[in-house]
Structure 1
């Protein structure tokens, strides 16, 4: 089975930029050449019928799970590479309610299981977010850069197009591959388990995410929510995303509180998501002056119900009035997309918003927009909701209609304040995954680590040669370091980064100073008349240098004698290991390069032996923890064995 070859297409400039809280999905039939609009519409109805038992009582945060029929060419398709393929696609904005995204994933898995001849692709602003969930089980080659057009749902399982078969797959290539070679693209068991575990609690988790609460609202609000309970999501959105302009609508409450303070509140039960409930409860909001009187604060339960109802009523008013205004003006998301496209194309010529020239250009853009089909479509869409609310409020409704009904109590909201235990359990579960992942890769890399380690990295203490410490330390001391600091001779934690131009400049500088003729010529060329010397001056300088050297030698002898006199009365000499105390068998590599400090009152001291002894004592005192000795030696590529005899 083959898909048609791809053709270049670009999305419309009027398509709004996807937000960061939106999940996208596309469903591709196996026989695109035989798929017609009628076939897609029939498939669309079958899918909605299949999902209806899961979604009929669910309140979505911003918009419900939906699908649209896409037939080529379709420049408005959210995935440009799909614009030439007949398919179903949709997007879902989940906002602050992450459960909506994972419930959508569960629904897509259900579609995949019920319709095995479909291939489903889903992604969000983070890319293939299912791979993020299974990060500890992915092959090393799979990363955000190489995952494009590789992840699909098919027949209830995850499929990943392998890199060795398709190095740079297009959407067409990947769809053909998973249809013709499903066993090769089937993801590993670890990836399947990780993703399935994330959605294993659905649809029960979706029902648990619903929260019923008893509120007191004006009759008009109760009437609207009775006929369209899902409008609670738009009411909460209008309240939570309010701004200065929409607050003006709430201050007047012209549509839902027509009688002002004379309006009577009724008690109703409202179902919403937990995220919506939290958005309402956690925000402080003062009732408008025109709003009906609420119970006193001393009546805690009654006041809480009325305050929550007031927020819902104000949100519904702001949403209604804003959509009504935008419907008249034909604005909304399509206008915002059109305006942003003008800004990106340089239409406003860098003019400051609010300036007279900017306003003139804006008026011209609005006039042009009103004459396009986008204006009529946006107006129809925005006015549809306004007309629906007007139709509901046109029906007879009285206060008595809501007084006689029994309203159940609100659900327990302790989950809002006691989520610490659940959060800790999730964090602990993630911590265990990380530990298992680290343990697995440590075992794999143990053999390689032994091969790549330094000369003294053997775990067997018998193979450890202390002479390596002295040799490495001598190399470190005698190494010429730059002004940036000391450089370890075997820095294994840092990659070599050579600046060729700077290296050449440094070498030229060194050569200029070491070559006497060049140095003298540079002095002559760069000197001024004030720095000219004759032969007598040079001889005076030579005599001065000789006197300085003699003076320094005399000072050092005097300083050494004075220091030795002071050390005679201390126990410092007992802290050194003397040369005659060394083991003759181990003097190779250490005694040859050692420096013996000889004084008339001190026995000879082997510097290398004392160095090794001091480092070993310091390392032993760390008791296996990080410390200066292990850090310094590790930087130079020397790894000391653990003291297995400690404490015996």
Structure 2
């Protein structure tokens, strides 16, 4: 899950048709990579299947201690063998490699998904020869969690077949070894033999560990125990199968008009419609389930006995009523499915073996067929001991009928002690927790942006000219005037003007041609009788090329022309000075008598013969620096004419931090 714009949506789903709110995972053991994928030898395939079965049992037994008392939102954590039931949502290439796979729908309870991630990381620690992939509808959501710390090249197009969990760490197959997207087999082989090279950076590991580091304690904290008043049949079901509370909550939360008709009768769970059938029990569920029940208003059916007073006991009775109605709606709705309750999970499992070619065309009843069948049943019985919850969740109607077939005693529930409900203040104080999480994300984003700016500044420091390598306090403003003078003195050609310093940029500025045009304007007009001829001469002067320059110099050498040009210039200067005396322009320039400068510092003393009443000479260099600094400051750190021109000359001014 910047964040920079677009970073939280960076790793898209692997398949746009994936079910929503579902996490998928695949576990690839190293021994499956050493097998001949194209082998048609039944013994080879049977050996791999046997190894996967053993691995499956070991993993289930290892994780049972974490999942035994956990109530899942919709379905429990389970694993299947690809050799028996190929993954329908996995890439086609993964089904060519024998592996274990599974999926889990977490719905509104996001904690289920992260608990699965914890279980997968824990599995990779206990079985270091496993490479594990995990993804959901958003794609590589682990990368979203660590988005601020990933290499720049990681994106949805380049991350395919590169992200694995192995040895308790996240691994990323480097792009320098596989410039294009690697196939799954090559990526798995590389990770298994180059763990140190593929192990993600410590910052990536910390980001993910921060998200799952509180498990398994957080999984226990996510459970909420509450005291409720329910029909005795509901209490009986929850006593034997506490996991079925999730299906009851799901039935209540996802109810529709058709299913609500079943709740209006309560034929199965409240057949006598009597308050004598009601008992108080303690029920454990996830916090998400508790919130779903509490936050929905639901009027009790007429047949359901509710207490008359609205004291503290009414809340437990109302919550129990919602649970009982959820059981009724779930049971009756699933019972409509003719397949539910008629076929056991062993039948489904046996059919999957036949479809996968487990029996290899053997004749039913033969010795080899019986031996394989016994091995399959033995594996089923061993695995079902630890996957019993999955079997119950897939066939709840049959299991509920089995429970109802046993004798039920009201005294059994009325005589037991019931503890108080857990504190549910977390349900109403979630805003503070949300704000804290958002603030933590903001700080992480600020830290990321700060680091990026620091890196950019360090890179700029390496690329700029020598003037920027010194400290700001030692920065010499004289560099500006010196560089400008060097720029003016440089020769130009049709390729552009040369610039000082080792810069590669060119300025398309022809100084010779520019000065010729200026001279043509400044040249005093000739005495001619025909105005058209004068215009023609002016046009000719402007279009002079190098071949005509010698003729122009010969003409300018004439004494009369020199006298006329000097007289015009003197007259023009006098008129201009007289005109400027009556304006505020005098205040816009820094003059030599205001800020004395030494001649060697670049002071330009013009018009030395000017008397006191005339304008004081302007310090050209100082005004140049002042104007450039003012223009640079007005840019406020953004690109602009001043920074662009100075950059061409190899200069970079320090940022204007103080006005």
TM-score range, shorter chain: 0.5 to 0.7
Which residue in the other structure is 2:476 paired with? Answer: 462
* Structure 1 residues 105 and 591, CA gap change in structure 2 (3 angstroms): farther
Which residue in the other structure is 1:405 paired with? Answer: 416
Within the alignment, does 1:176 sit opposite 2:184 as a pair?
A: no
Corresponding residue SS for 2:476: helix
Which residue in the other structure is 2:401 paired with? Answer: 390
Measured after TM superposition, the shift of residue 62 of structure 1 is: 0.9
Cα distance in structure 2, aligned partners of 1:434 and 1:86 = 41
Q: Quick one: which of 253, 256, 279 aligns to 2:269?
A: 256
Which residue in the other structure is 2:363 paired with? Answer: none
Corresponding residue SS for 1:83: helix
- Moved beyond 4 Å, runs of 4+: 328-331, 380-383, 450-461, 463-468, 572-575, 578-588, 601-620, 627-632, 634-640
Cα distance in structure 2, aligned partners of 1:608 and 1:295 = 95
Cα distance in structure 2, aligned partners of 1:238 and 1:212 = 20
Which residue in the other structure is 2:378 paired with? Answer: none
Mapped contact 1:110–1:156 kept (Cα < 8 A):
yes
Cα distance in structure 2, aligned partners of 1:641 and 1:327 = 79
Q: Quick one: which of 212, 225, 244 aligns to 1:231?
A: 244
Which residue in the other structure is 1:130 paired with? Answer: 142
Within the alignment, does 1:303 sit opposite 2:314 as a pair?
A: yes
Cα distance in structure 2, aligned partners of 1:635 and 1:295 = 83
Mapped contact 1:72–1:85 kept (Cα < 8 A):
no
* Structure 1 residues 586 and 39, CA gap change in structure 2 (3 angstroms): same
Measured after TM superposition, the shift of residue 575 of structure 1 is: 6.1
* Structure 1 residues 635 and 302, CA gap change in structure 2 (3 angstroms): farther
Corresponding residue SS for 2:255: coil
Measured after TM superposition, the shift of residue 20 of structure 1 is: 2.4
* Structure 1 residues 106 and 73, CA gap change in structure 2 (3 angstroms): closer
Question: In angstroms, what is the RMSD of aligned CA positions?
Answer: 4.1
Corresponding residue SS for 1:288: coil
Mapped contact 2:124–2:168 kept (Cα < 8 A):
yes
Within the alignment, does 1:438 sit opposite 2:449 as a pair?
A: yes
Output one character per residue of 1:183-242: Cα deviation in whole Å (capped at 9) or x when no partner: 322222222222223221111111111110001111121111111111111111111122
* Structure 1 residues 576 and 238, CA gap change in structure 2 (3 angstroms): same
* Structure 1 residues 612 and 292, CA gap change in structure 2 (3 angstroms): farther
Matching of residues 344-383 of structure 1 within 5 Å = none
Mapped contact 1:578–1:604 kept (Cα < 8 A):
no
Which residue in the other structure is 1:92 paired with? Answer: 104
Which residue in the other structure is 1:101 paired with? Answer: 113
Cα distance in structure 2, aligned partners of 1:94 and 1:397 = 33
Corresponding residue SS for 1:36: helix
Aligned pairs, how many?
473
Within the alignment, does 1:140 sit opposite 2:152 as a pair?
A: yes
Corresponding residue SS for 2:336: helix
Which residue in the other structure is 1:43 paired with? Answer: 55
Q: Quick one: which of 39, 59, 64 aligns to 2:76?
A: 64
Measured after TM superposition, the shift of residue 432 of structure 1 is: 3.7
Within the alignment, does 1:160 sit opposite 2:176 as a pair?
A: no
Output one character per residue of 1:398-421: Cα deviation in whole Å (capped at 9) or x when no partner: 333211111111001111122344
Which residue in the other structure is 1:557 paired with? Answer: none
Cα distance in structure 2, aligned partners of 1:421 and 1:73 = 45
Which residue in the other structure is 2:26 paired with? Answer: 26
* Structure 1 residues 294 and 264, CA gap change in structure 2 (3 angstroms): farther
Measured after TM superposition, the shift of residue 390 of structure 1 is: 1.6
Unpaired segments ≥5 residues, structure 2: 1-14, 36-43, 343-390, 485-578, 607-613, 647-651
* Structure 1 residues 643 and 260, CA gap change in structure 2 (3 angstroms): same
Unpaired segments ≥5 residues, structure 1: 1-14, 332-379, 471-564, 593-600, 621-626
Mapped contact 2:392–2:399 kept (Cα < 8 A):
no
Measured after TM superposition, the shift of residue 573 of structure 1 is: 6.6
Measured after TM superposition, the shift of residue 325 of structure 1 is: 1.5
Q: TM-score, normalised by structure 2?
A: 0.62
Corresponding residue SS for 2:297: coil
* Structure 1 residues 245 and 78, CA gap change in structure 2 (3 angstroms): farther
Which residue in the other structure is 1:245 paired with? Answer: 258
Higher-Rg structure is 2
Within the alignment, does 1:314 sit opposite 2:325 as a pair?
A: yes
Which residue in the other structure is 1:209 paired with? Answer: 222
Measured after TM superposition, the shift of residue 273 of structure 1 is: 0.6
* Structure 1 residues 169 and 573, CA gap change in structure 2 (3 angstroms): closer
Mapped contact 1:326–1:382 kept (Cα < 8 A):
no
Which residue in the other structure is 1:116 paired with? Answer: 128
Mapped contact 1:256–1:313 kept (Cα < 8 A):
yes
Matching of residues 595-634 of structure 1 within 5 Å = 633=640
Cα distance in structure 1, aligned partners of 2:285 and 2:103 = 21
Within the alignment, does 1:53 sit opposite 2:94 as a pair?
A: no
Cα distance in structure 2, aligned partners of 1:36 and 1:102 = 30
Output one character per residue of 1:568-615: Cα deviation in whole Å (capped at 9) or x when no partner: 8x9x67864488879898999x999xxxxxxxx999999999999689
Mapped contact 2:341–2:397 kept (Cα < 8 A):
no
Cα distance in structure 1, aligned partners of 2:446 and 2:394 = 55
Corresponding residue SS for 1:312: helix
Matching of residues 73-92 of structure 1 within 5 Å = 74=86, 76=88, 78-92=90-104
Cα distance in structure 2, aligned partners of 1:587 and 1:467 = 9
Which residue in the other structure is 1:189 paired with? Answer: 202
Output one character per residue of 1:454-474: Cα deviation in whole Å (capped at 9) or x when no partner: 999895652487789x9xxxx
Measured after TM superposition, the shift of residue 90 of structure 1 is: 0.4
Corresponding residue SS for 2:102: strand
Matching of residues 472-621 of structure 1 within 5 Å = 576-577=588-589
